[in-house]
């Protein structure tokens, strides 16, 4: 049985190498002499920012990694030179966002984890909390509901760290406007 397992492992490895080479983009030519399209390559600008990944029409396009000189890092999808699609952005200060991007901004569903232990899970629009989401504080308190412009705006509930409800109702800019009577 060991020889069969070994044979399957070798066959699988060969298949993986052949398939990955068949569908892999070719390496991009030297940057100073050519327009990069439908290739993969590495580019470092004068500021020390580095991109490794796929190129189309001389722009980052497809899967890639962007290491910024300040220590921030993005791994994910690009479209026309911008973060677009699924990706993870890790900030040098310890904050981390994993989720959807659109035109270089957090946009769509995602998780933003802060270095201090706070976490927001939910929708984003133009980098800010938007739509249904939950912000959990490192202390254990939790705010859940409708968000707009990084604040509770609409129906929401604020919980104490023991899980009991602190406030429930309709909020505007994180402030409780009114509560609804329960029947």
Q: For the chain, which domains are there?
A: 2-178 (2.20.110.10)
Is residue 172's pLDDT more than 90?
A: yes
Is residue 51's pLDDT more than 60?
A: yes
Question: Rounded to 5 degrees, what angle do the CA atoms 14, 8, 25 make?
Answer: 25
Rounded alpha-carbon distances, angstroms, from residue 126 to 22, 108, 149, 152, 159: 38, 9, 9, 16, 27
Is residue 108's pLDDT more than 90?
A: yes
d(CA 84, CA 63): 10
- CB burial of residue 22 (10 Å; 0-12, 13-18, 19+): exposed
- pLDDT attached to residue 18: 42
Q: At 50, phi and psi to the nearest 5?
A: -125, 140
- pLDDT attached to residue 30: 73
Tell me the per-residue pLDDT of 75-105, one tens digit each, with 9 for 90 and over: 999 999 999 999 999 999 999 999 999 999 9
Closest CA to 30 of 43, 45, 21: 43
What is the value of pTM for the model shown? Answer: 0.82
Confidence class for position 8, pLDDT limits 50, 70, 90: low
d(CA 82, CA 61): 8
């Amino acid at each position: 049985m060991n020889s069969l397992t070994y044979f399957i492992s070798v066959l699988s490895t060969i298949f993986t190498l052949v398939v990955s080479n068949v569908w892999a983009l070719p390496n991009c030519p030297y940057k100073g002499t050519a327009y990069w399209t439908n290739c993969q390559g590495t580019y470092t600008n004068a500021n020390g920012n580095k991109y490794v990944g796929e190129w189309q029409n001389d722009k980052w396009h497809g899967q890639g990694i962007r290491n910024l000189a300040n220590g921030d890092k993005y791994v994910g999808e690009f479209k026309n030179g911008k973060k677009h699609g699924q990706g993870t952005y890790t900030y040098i200060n310890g904050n981390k966002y994993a989720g959807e991007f659109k035109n270089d901004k957090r946009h769509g569903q995602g998780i933003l984890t802060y270095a201090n232990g706070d976490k927001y899970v939910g929708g984003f629009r133009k980098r800010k909390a938007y739509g249904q989401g939950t912000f959990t504080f490192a202390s254990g308190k939790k705010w859940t509901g409708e968000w707009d412009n990084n604040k509770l705006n609409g129906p929401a509930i604020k919980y104490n760290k023991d899980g009991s409800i602190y406030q429930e109702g309709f909020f505007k800019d994180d402030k409780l406007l009114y509560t609804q009577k329960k029947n």
